[in-house]
Amino acid sequence: MMESMRSEMDAKDMETGKGERITDPSFSSLIAQESGENLLACYQCRKCSAGCPVAHAMDILPHQVIRMVHFGHKERVLASNTIWICASCYTCSVRCPNDIDIAKIMDVLRHTALRSGVRPGERDIPIFHSAFLDSIKSKGRIHELSMIWQYKSKTRDFMKDAALGWRMFRKGKIKLFPSKFGGGRELKSVFSRYEKGK
Amino acid sequence: MFSVDTKRGNRVNELSYYPGCSLDGTAREYDESIRGVCEMMDISLHELEDWTCCGASSAHCTDEHLAIELAARNLAIAERGDRELLVPCVACYSRFKAAEKEVREHPESWETAYQGKVNIRYALDFFCQDSLMDTVGEKVVTPLSDLKVACYYGCLSVRPPEITGVRNYEDPQHMDRLMSVLGAEPLPWSYKTDCCGASLFMTRTDIVRSLTHRLLEMAKEADADCLVTGCTICQANLDGRQDDVGREFGQKYDLPIFYYTELMGLAMGHRDVKKWLGRHLTDPTKLLSSKGLMK
């Protein structure tokens, strides 16, 4: 019921333009170009949203994201939690009758959101990704313990999953020290290209 | 790459091996069991020298260049050897195949030495090829009789099919066939390829709990004794969060979550099976003892 009300309200908003003050006409072509996907092929059958395992936690459903991109509702899409909740499971992409790779579009929207500096619709997920990438940059491989410590020091949520962590430690699943690696220079250049291009 | 060593009459197979970060940490038992099984099948694994993280979800959620070039760095190392590359973690596999596609289609776009020439094999697909399945069958000493398994493929081992090459991606059968070869009974169920919440495992644990709850319920409804997977995140989510999920939804779950390689090792009589299974948070020994598969 909630779902159908939400989508009706959104559809109405989109028709009247209410609730969406800023539109960017170039947004649709930017996303189409970066993803290489033909968004205009979408005829709003909602199959992507129907099969999405995490749709219940999204503030905009996947088919609505596609329509909002068409309409240039840049800010609303980039500030949505949807683009971060998407788990990249590709269920939508394989079921789309028009062969639109929706998971890939979600990737491009995340990249665009990070570059645009908009406040992300989910707090912890982008922090996690950044802690994860920092760990690769400094250690080459993910050393789970230090990566998790870094993530938690940014979210300040030290108690969450502490018991699970302790059980895993006792089972020998937590490695105390990172492995050594020798690819530092190559990794540095990959990361510096990324940092320059941001 | 299979060849016959005529002098010794043994089948010899040499593979490059990229364990990936999880297998170097929380998924140690997958690494140990895959090495154990390969040893029993006369397959030698050559771990890539100086491998680094594939970039995983965090790179592809952040930047396309990071995602492709972090993965391609490892493929370039593999390309220097003339062997197939065995990749046990499905997330690494998916990133490698995505990098391969990009490097082959748009070589000018990426700064990498990789030329797209490595044959990248996901370990489950590798063991499920017909010729190897026959070898596995010959080596089974303890058939896993009466063990009812729900094969859980998850997302990236089957999707997207243009990357994985799996044709029946809504109802895959290859792991089910492997389980039959081991003597177990694979059950039909509808959640084989549903997502467990994957990379949200540390951030939105509420979502992960609701998805794993559904998977555990559906496996139970199918009358499964356990689940079998080839994905380190699926295994960690289903194995590690079982108690939390049970508490939240007022249920008691006791469903061991095996890696397919652990069950291969068990059926083929590997000496270290107990050590591998000792790392699980949901203890599988009770189930295996009740089926007479473990003392």
Q: Same domain, yes or no, for A10 and A62?
A: yes
Please indicate whether, in this complex, the C-beta atoms of B202 and A173 are within 8 angstroms of each other: no
Domains in chain A, number: 2
**Is A140 in contact with A181 (CB distance < 8 Å)?**
yes
Chain A closest-CA separation from residue B217 CA (Å): 15
Q: Same domain, yes or no, for A8 and A82?
A: yes
What share of chain B in percent tops pLDDT 70? 96
pLDDT value for B126: 96
Q: Same domain, yes or no, for A7 and A101?
A: yes
Average pLDDT over residues B204-231: 97
Of the residues A72, A93, A116, the one at which a domain ends = A116
Q: Same domain, yes or no, for A9 and A105?
A: yes
Q: How far apart are CA B55 and CA A155, in angstroms?
A: 22
**Is B45 in contact with B38 (CB distance < 8 Å)?**
yes
- The domains of chain B, with CATH numbers, are 10-124 (1.20.1050.140), 141-290 (3.40.50.11810)
B114: left (phi over 0), alpha (psi -120 to 50) or beta: beta
pLDDT value for B226: 98
pLDDT at A5 over 60: no
Q: How far apart are CA B84 and CA B14, in angstroms?
A: 8
pLDDT value for B285: 95
From residue A76, how far is each of A60, A69, A72, A120, B216 by CA, in Å?
9, 9, 9, 11, 36
B199 pLDDT band (50/70/90 cuts)?
confident
Q: Same domain, yes or no, for A70 and A110?
A: yes
Residue B128, both tokens: 């499920």
Of the residues A80, A96, A116, the one at which a domain ends = A116
Q: Same domain, yes or no, for A23 and A99?
A: yes
pLDDT value for A1: 41
Which of A168-172, B9-13, B53-57, B289-293 has the least mean pLDDT? Answer: B9-13
| End-to-end C-alpha distance for chain A, whole angstroms | 41
pLDDT at B119 over 50: yes
Q: What is the DSSP letter of A119?
A: P
Query: 3-state class of A31 per DSSP?
Result: helix
Residues whose CB is less than 8 angstroms from the CB of residue A76 and which lie 6 or more positions away in sequence, other chains included: A20, A60, A68
Q: Same domain, yes or no, for A101 and A133?
A: no
A94 closest CB neighbour out of B26, B50, B161: B161
Tell me which residue range forms the domain holding A137.
124-197
pLDDT value for A21: 58
Average pLDDT over residues B217-240: 97
**CB contacts < 8 A (A, B):** 161
Average pLDDT over residues A100-105: 98
Residues whose CB is less than 8 angstroms from the CB of residue B65 and which lie 6 or more positions away in sequence, other chains included: A190, A193, A194, A197, B110
pLDDT value for A171: 86
Please give the residue of chain A at the shortest CA–CA distance from B69: A190
**Is B27 in contact with B58 (CB distance < 8 Å)?**
no
A160 pLDDT band (50/70/90 cuts)?
confident
pLDDT value for A19: 52
Q: How far apart are CA B146 and CA B160, in angstroms?
A: 34
Q: Same domain, yes or no, for A23 and A91?
A: yes
Among B18, B21, B49, pick the best mutation site for testing chain A contact (most A Cβ within 10 A): B21
Q: Same domain, yes or no, for A90 and A130?
A: no
All residues of chain B having their beta carbon less than 8 Å from the beta carbon of residue A125 are 200, 203-204
Of the residues A63, A87, A116, the one at which a domain ends = A116
Chain A closest-CA separation from residue B285 CA (Å): 15
Average pLDDT over residues B99-110: 95
Average pLDDT over residues B133-152: 96
Q: Same domain, yes or no, for A22 and A106?
A: yes
Q: Which residue has the tokens 């099969």?
A: A51
Query: 3-state class of A156 per DSSP?
Result: coil
The answer to whether B73 faces chain A, any CB pair under 8 Å, is yes
Q: Same domain, yes or no, for A151 and A79?
A: no
CATH number of the domain enclosing A51: 1.10.1060
Average pLDDT over residues B120-139: 95
pLDDT at A10 over 60: no
What share of chain A in percent tops pLDDT 70? 89
pLDDT value for A2: 45
B51: left (phi over 0), alpha (psi -120 to 50) or beta: beta
